[in-house]
Chain A
Amino acid sequence: MEERNVIGVYHLTKKYGDQYALKDVNLQVGNGEFVFLVGPSGAGKSTLLRLIYMDEFPTDGQVVAGSFVSTTVDRKKIPYLRRKIGVIFQDFKLLEDRDVFENVAIAMRVTGEKSYEIKKLVIHILTQVGLYHKRNDLPRKLSGGEQQRVAIARAIVNRPAILLADEPTGNLDPDVTEEILRLLFRINSGGTAVLMATHNLSLVENFGQRIVHLKDGIIHEDRLTGLGGNPSDKLSEYRWNRKRLDKQETTGELR
């Protein structure tokens, strides 16, 4: 039986003026799949993600996210799409004037959920990401990794089918990067499809996941690395690789 796709991108072209940001891009992400979207900055990764959560619309072609189709969607219904897609960013995008609890709760408040339900679920999610004890802190009091975990908690609190991550580890040091990746893998193992954009190929190439290479708005390669399998098992491999890379950097040795 064919697995249903949660994201479908068909002959997608996006132009800004005369400039092509994306050119005839085709990409399908299956239900519960984990995909790395890799490419240098300016390759069109963020644009592609924005088109998927329908912050922007294609110049040509079509994007399907869940049951929402870019060519036919009623713009007034887009908030309902956003509740089915979690998005996280390099700069976290937290509400600076609200505490950790409210930053997660807001994603449920907009749906009109009852306070009691909100409290129950937010506490549950905060415990999962290990930030329950910091629920009353303002974001500026948290480290980068903690802020990203708050953003992740907010992204998954409505149990979305899709999690989009735009350079989620771009501002974080290696230890924290690993922690965030582990969290994303765990969310993925719960059945949420994850599409993570990064410019850092060496970070992701050893997890045995599908990697899509984007360059100058065109998909150059779409391959499954390694043998697939459980990515969490690959984290130890990643850790080993990182040590090797660190050593190379300090010794100046080329790989």
Chain B
Amino acid sequence: MSVHQLLYLIKESFRTIKRHKGVTAISIIIMSLTLLILAVFLLVTDNMLMFMSQAREEMRIYVYLEDSLDRSVIEDYHRRILSMLEVEQVVFISKEEALLEFREELGEESDLLDALDTNPLPASFRIALKSAYKDKNKIELFASKVGGLEGVEEVRYGKDFLEKFSTIMKGFLYVDAFIGIVVILSTIFIISNAVRLSVVSRKRSIEILKLVGATNRFITTPFIFEGALQGGIASFIAMAMLFFIFLVGVKFLPELSFFSPEKAFAFILLCVLIGSAGSFTALRRFLRA
């Protein structure tokens, strides 16, 4: 295809959009509503995944030590734990620091602690694991290893929570992937139908073009370009609508966050691709017949 032919076809696509304002507007509306559903799904998934990774990120293992342990033993343990393969970071919290933290947590009610004669809180190590080891089984293994050290009173890592969390996460990922496949397939289906609408409305023109010797590429190029353009515009509208929905949603769930600019851009790009792919498939079926 020559350059001036391509330029002609691009100009032609804009002219066609102008000429067929009605059909174009309808298919853009259909597309933006469909893409809105896809966008809502993606935003919910994105937030859930972010929440999960944050929860994983913040997970710590607490190793409580007996009061009788010597300072030198504690320092030795500190070094040994730090050198373990799974460990990202170890913080030692002395009895005094633990009390101070507890005081802060209690806030206004911290005077309750004044009634105590001795500090009941044990010293501890707070351990962050490398993310590759934040798996339920690996954590258990690690916990039993550390728990076996002489003078360790208890190892805590929210076993119940972790179990529940990993089941919920697995369930969520399955359901999410299923919904995702359904939503994406119906998006492509609806969009390729919307495109077919505009193909059928231009059936006569296509026949005439074939009659005067237009190649399939000459016929399909403007449609693919239009599909891409419509997909882009529709995804922009869908993004704007999603943002309004987000503004309402964030009042109820302040933890919600919107797409990062990169993700929003990727979404628009994806819609441009879906739009042109929809055009292409709708036309291919039509040109073969």
Taking beta carbons and an 8 Å cutoff, which residues of A are in contact with B?
A: 53, 55, 76, 79-83, 87, 93-97, 106-107, 109-112, 114-115, 154, 158
Contact = CB atoms under 8 A, between A and B. Distances in A.
B213 A95 contact: no
Given A93-B208, A95-B205, A95-B208, A107 B8 contact: no
B4 A93 contact: no
A139 to B, nearest CB: 11
B215 A79 contact: yes
A255 B208 CA distance: 42
A87 B211 contact: yes
B212 A112 contact: no
Q: Is the interface of A mostly helix, strand, loop or mixed?
A: loop
A133 B22 CA distance: 32
Q: Is the interface of B mostly helix, strand, loop or mixed?
A: helix
B19 interface: yes
A53 B213 CA distance: 10
A154 B212 contact: yes
Contacts of A97: 19, 205
The 8 closest A-B pairs by CB, nearest first: A82-B213, A83-B213, A110-B214, A107-B212, A112-B2, A79-B213, A112-B5, A79-B215
Interface residues on B, range: 10 to 19
Contacts of B204: 93, 96
Given A76-B215, A106-B208, A109-B5, 12 more contacts: A79-B210, A79-B213, A80-B213, A83-B212, A83-B213, A94-B208, A96-B204, A97-B205, A110-B218, A112-B4, A112-B5, A114-B4
B209 interface: yes
B4 A115 contact: yes
A110 B4 contact: no
B213 A111 contact: yes
A154 to B, nearest CB: 7
Interface centre among A76, A95, A106 (most CB of B within 10 A): A106
Interface of B: 1-2, 4-5, 8, 19, 204-205, 207-216, 218
A94 B205 CA distance: 8
A96 B214 CA distance: 18
24 contacts: A53-B211, A55-B211, A76-B215, A76-B216, A79-B210, A79-B213, A79-B214, A79-B215, A79-B216, A82-B211, A82-B212, A83-B213, A93-B208, A95-B205, A106-B209, A107-B213, A109-B8, A110-B209, A110-B212, A110-B213, A110-B218, A112-B1, A115-B4, A115-B8
Given A109-B8, A112-B1, A93 B19 contact: no
Contact of A93 (B1, B211, B214): B211
Contacts of B207: 93
A169 to B, nearest CB: 19
Contacts of A110: 209, 212-215, 218
A39 to B, nearest CB: 23
B180 to A, nearest CB: 38
A80 B214 CA distance: 8
Contacts of B213: 79-83, 107, 110-111, 158
A83 B214 CA distance: 9
Contacts of A81: 213
Nearest to A97: B19
A37 to B, nearest CB: 19
Nearest to A88: B211
B6 to A, nearest CB: 10
A154 B212 CA distance: 8
A109 B216 CA distance: 14
B208 to A, nearest CB: 5
A175 B260 CA distance: 71
Contacts of B209: 106, 110
Contacts of B8: 109, 115
Contacts of A53: 211
Contacts of A76: 215-216
A115 B4 CA distance: 8
A143 B209 CA distance: 23
A93 B204 CA distance: 8
Contacts of B19: 97
Contacts of A106: 208-209, 212
